[in-house]
Amino acid sequence: MVRRLIACAVVGTAAALSLTGCLGDKKDEAAPPAPPTPPSSAPSQPSSPPSSASTNGGTPAGWKTVGGPENGVRMSIPDGWMEIDLTSGEAEQGLKRLGLQGANEELLRQSFASLEKQKAVYAVETRAAERGYATNVNALCTPTPVSSVEALEAGTRAGMSQLGAQDVEITRTTVAGRAGIRTTYTLRTAAGTLTGRQVQVADGSRACSLTVTARDGEMPGNADQIMGTLELL
């Protein structure tokens, strides 16, 4: 039961992986098979000390704050990142701005539908998309009775195992002013090896997370700073 619930808490990763696998490919050719989409989510690349992922909210100078009460969360993104507001029907406009075409465009459209159900906040790094893979971040909350950090960690390990993630490292940290966890991992997909960083926290009857996903070796240097802007509403 806990495994299933935590898997839902990390669904942002699975959904993000299925859509990031096709982002940035502007050629009108068959899309690669979508990565596995279990009820879990969020890749990561271990490199920065866990304490750097401690989230306290707040917007760095020059950054844009996205999300709101309808999402249950808020986060901030640097200049050069583009928000795609899934809750206002902006997904189609986002697809056009990214310049995607053909089968890849349709695969991304289907992935957006999954994230929209979770009322996720979503953004992509536009320059990364131009290089062939859109580094992305998503933040979301999902209902769950899990309230302890221990249960959150156990469920996340099970979810990552189900996802087929490797190099999984989970550490305790402070997330949005509460005790939470930080997870890093790698995942082999049809789009190549992806890395991710994720923070999660249980908040009453829900679990909230923020996940940054990038191609291996292309994790943004400010990924932990982005994670540190997560706010629960």
CA–CA gap between residue 6 and residue 209 (Å, rounded): 11
- Which DSSP letter does residue 112 get? H
Q: What is the pLDDT of residue 206?
A: 92
Structure tokens at 78: 């640097």
- Cβ atoms 179, 2 nearer than 8 A: no
Radius of gyration of the chain, Cα coordinates, nearest whole angstrom? 16
Residue 153 identity (one-letter amino acid)? E
Cα 196 to chain centroid distance, Å, stands at: 8
Q: pLDDT of 211-231, one tens digit each?
A: 998 989 999 999 999 999 999
Write down the architecture of domain 2-232 according to CATH. Answer: 3-Layer(aba) Sandwich (3.40)
Neighbours of 69 (CB within 10 A): 8
- Which regions of the chain are under pLDDT 50? 1-12, 14-54, 103
Residue in this structure with the two tokens 């509403």, named with its chain if needed? 233
pTM above 0.95, yes or no: no
Q: What is the pLDDT of residue 9?
A: 37
Q: What is the pLDDT of residue 48?
A: 36
Q: What is the pLDDT of residue 221?
A: 95
- Which DSSP letter does residue 80 get? T
97 burial (CB, 10 Å; 0-12 / 13-18 / 19+) is middle
How far apart, in Å, do the first and last CA atoms of the chain sit? 26
Q: What is the pLDDT of residue 233?
A: 95
Q: What is the pLDDT of residue 161?
A: 92
CA–CA gap between residue 212 and residue 189 (Å, rounded): 16
From the list 102, 110, 94, 118, the residue with the least C-alpha distance to 39 is 118
Cα 113 to chain centroid distance, Å, stands at: 15
Q: pLDDT of 56-79, one tens digit each?
A: 556 789 999 999 999 999 999 999
Q: What is the pLDDT of residue 47?
A: 36
